[in-house]
Amino acid sequence: MLLLLAGSLWVAWIHSELLKGRSFWTVKIPQDCSWGWRKLLKLRADARSLLSFEVGDGKNIFLWHDCWHPNGTLYQKYGHRIVYDAASSLNAKVSSILQNKEWCWRPARSEDLVDIQSKLSLVQIKDSDKAIWLLNSSGKFNCADTWQHLRGKQAEVQWWKLIWFNKAIPRHGFIGWLTMKNRLATKDRLIQWGICVDPVCLFCRHMLEDRDHLFFKCPFTKRIWDHIMALCLVSDAIDDWNMLVAWGTQHLQGKSFRTSLCKVAWWAAVYHIWLQRNLEFTVGRLKLRSR
Ligand SMILES: [Zn+2]
């Protein structure tokens, strides 16, 4: 829509007030523009390689900056020299070299221009200009396909079903996911980031507070954990985090009530222990400040 000047009042406003005849791909990010416009401009590098154009009358396609030619985006490939050699202007449209659906380019003055002009016969001229979103067979933009393309794909972790399951409580799951990735701001990590804190666990006041101690090696949280697992009919609850995850991945499969109960209980325990730890942390700091 934005590139073909069609569809909405917003697009018309963007073209008249922000682009003012310049290409979306080349306009600089203004100092004082809105958050949304800034974001859109920053995403151009990602979007550019995913778009090509079908040429109709060429009035909405930038000759040098849009990808309509078999050689790709001409300005990106040849630089400003090609605009100069063609005696054209930076914001020229494809329509400037089209007349009654026939190519009418001046005689080429460089080898690159000869090459560009020789390939014009490969460009099919359609009824109207059209932007083609290359990720979708229909050529139309699609959020899901674009997200799948842009996100960094990583190997699937074995434990994901422990966190994301039907009866999971989202806020518990989120903290659980951070815990799995060891991304909670536990004291060992705060110290790694250069933040000066007392490294001792706030519950037992004896050992270094890191994820594996907090869940569930600490005598205080271990007692809670043992009790919760006993309620879930799990005797000898595992207190080593990595072994616990391995056990869960192996034994907490399927959708049975007991499996779901164990997983819900696990993440509820993690969530509330983390909540309580944060409370202790904040109160401790407040006390320190008031001294
Ligand atoms: Zn402790």
Overall domain count for the chain: 2
Distance 277 CA to ligand 1 centre (A): 10
Is this structure's pTM higher than 0.75?
no
Give me the chain's average pLDDT, please.
88
CB contact at 8 A, 210 and 179: no
Tell me if 3 is assigned to some domain: no
Distance 187 CA to ligand 1 centre (A): 12
Same domain, 284 and 236: yes
Distance 208 CA to ligand 1 centre (A): 7
Distance 11 CA to ligand 1 centre (A): 58
Same domain, 141 and 167: no
Q: State how far the Cα of 96 lies from the Cα of 89, in Å rounded to an integer.
A: 10
Same domain, 13 and 137: yes
Distance 283 CA to ligand 1 centre (A): 17
pLDDT value at residue 169: 95
Same domain, 135 and 179: no
Nearest CA to 183 among 91, 276, 270, 80? Answer: 270
State whether residue 157 is helix, strand or coil.
Answer: coil
Task: Supply the range of the domain harboring residue 244.
Answer: 160-290
Percent of the chain at pLDDT exceeding 90: 44
Tell me if 42 is assigned to some domain: yes
Instruction: Tell me the helices (H) and strands (E) count for the chain, helix number first.
Output: 14, 4
Same domain, 21 and 146: yes
Q: Is 246 exposed, middle or buried (0-12, 13-18, 19+ CB in 10 A)?
A: middle
List, for residues 134-193, the tens digit of each pLDDT value: 887 787 888 888 888 877 777 888 899 999 998 999 999 999 999 999 999 999 999 999
List, for residues 224-282, the tens digit of each pLDDT value: 999 999 999 888 889 999 999 999 999 999 889 999 999 999 999 999 999 999 999 98
Q: Is 89 exposed, middle or buried (0-12, 13-18, 19+ CB in 10 A)?
A: exposed
Same domain, 13 and 139: yes
Query: How far, in Å, are 177, 225, 237, 258, 265 from residue 167 at the CA level?
Result: 15, 20, 22, 12, 11
Same domain, 95 and 29: yes
Distance 142 CA to ligand 1 centre (A): 49
